[in-house]
Structures are given as structure tokens and as C-alpha cells.
Amino acid sequence: MSAIVSVRNVTKDYMLGKTVVHALREVSLEVEGGDFLSIAGPSGSGKTTLLNLVGCVDTATGGVVEVDGRDTSTLSERALTDLRLRRIGFIFQSFNLVSVLTVAQNVEFPLLLQGGLTAKERAQRVAALLAAVGIEGYAKHRPSELSGGQRQRVAVARALVTRPALVLADEPTANLDSKTGESVIDLMKEMNRKDGTTFIFSTHDPKVMAHASAIVRIEDGRIVARERTAAA
């Protein structure tokens, strides 16, 4: 399989007050389609920065980031937004659901931005995903009425509804207790296996890492190791 993400010699510096922080130093990484990759490292090691670059929500100071075969540094803001909309799904640490919309509307939201499907098609796809993540009974509830684990399941459904090539998850289990966290990771894994969607998630929890097919370890902005796991 060809690489869905290709990061080559990427550096990312940003200013923190008057000092320059080198968040990433000469990082290179290839992610194959269908991977279930975990990025591991302590806080401040550069995990989130790397995910942001791959997710096209931030730009690199140097080097090349290719997503789905396209060099993101050459794309306009609009084109990047469109790329995110069509090819990438996001799962956030704190769920980030739109509080004023229902569960079903939250999941449907990216489809509406994308356009192209009839209301019936959208409804079917949303219903199928809600069933797949196990919260079909909560379609009309507001996010505030759900538990943390349920909310993250909604977020997983939302990330997958556009059938993206790549789903990025930054610390998806950090706000969940370990049991719930594991069940969310299991769900992601199941989706990865069923549809072949590539997942990249960051975590510092060894138990969560254990579910990944490969682990990339980052320290001080550098990749220090890439290992395959027993799960692979």
C-alpha cells in the first residue's frame, strides 16, 4: 500500500514570548494506508504539533508534509479546509461536539458542509454510524445529556461519517476513565479493521498504545523510535 501521509525533514518552530521553541526538528515519517498508528511521548514532546501538521490545521516551518499525495504547503487556506473536510476525520481530546446540535445533527454536520448527498442518504449514513458506535438510542439527545464515553463515540461517528482516508485523534482517551478509554480505542480499531481507514492517534498511556499496530516514539521534537507491536 502507498503512503497516505508522508512527512519529510519537517521542522516546526514557534515563538513563546521571546524564546524560540523547536517543537519538531527534522522529523520524517511515512504512514501507510490502513495503519493504526500511535504517536507516543511525554507532554511537550511534539506529538500534538505533528498531528496538527498532518491534519492540515497548522503549517510547518520547514520540510514537506504530504497528505493523500498532496503537498500541503502549496495549498490555499480554502483548499486546506476542503482537504480536511473530505479526506480527514478528527477526534478531539475533549470531544468538541457542537453543544446546540443533537447527536444526530452533530454527526450529520460534516456531510452538510460537504454537500452532495440527499437528506435520506445522509440520514441512513448517520443512523448506520450511530448504530456502529453503539449510541443509536441517543440520536435526538444533546451532547450535554451524554457521558464522556458516549460523547467520544459520537465524535468517532462524526469523524467517520464522510468516509475519510485518514482519522486523526489527539489524546482521545485522556478525558476518559481507563475502561471507557479502552472501549473507545477498541471502537476505533474495529472501524480501522472494517473499512481500512487509517488512524493516527497520540497518547502517553501504555495500555492504549498497546492497541496500535505501530508506535512512533517522540522526544524533544525528534522521532526516537518506530516499533511494531504485538497487535499488528
Binding interface with another protein (CB under 8 A):
48, 51-52, 55, 57-58, 77-78, 81-82, 84-86, 90, 92-94, 96, 98-101, 105, 108-110, 112-119, 122, 158, 162, 170-171, 174-175
Contacts of 204 (CB under 8 A, 6+ apart): 40, 41, 42, 43, 47, 171
CB of 193 to another protein, least distance (A): 24
CB-wise, 96 or 229, nearer to another protein?
96
> Cα–Cα distance between 48 and 203 in angstroms, integer?
10
Residue whose CB is less far from another protein, 117 or 210: 117
Residue 193, SS3 per DSSP = helix
CA distance 41 to 202: 8
**Distance in Å, CB of 81 to another protein, minimum:** 5
Q: Where are the beta strands (DSSP E) in 115-160?
A: none
CA distance 190 to 168: 15
Q: Which residue's CB is nearer to another protein, number 20 or number 98?
A: 98
**Shortest Å, Cβ 110 to another protein:** 5
Our CB check for another protein shows the closer of 40 and 213 to be 40
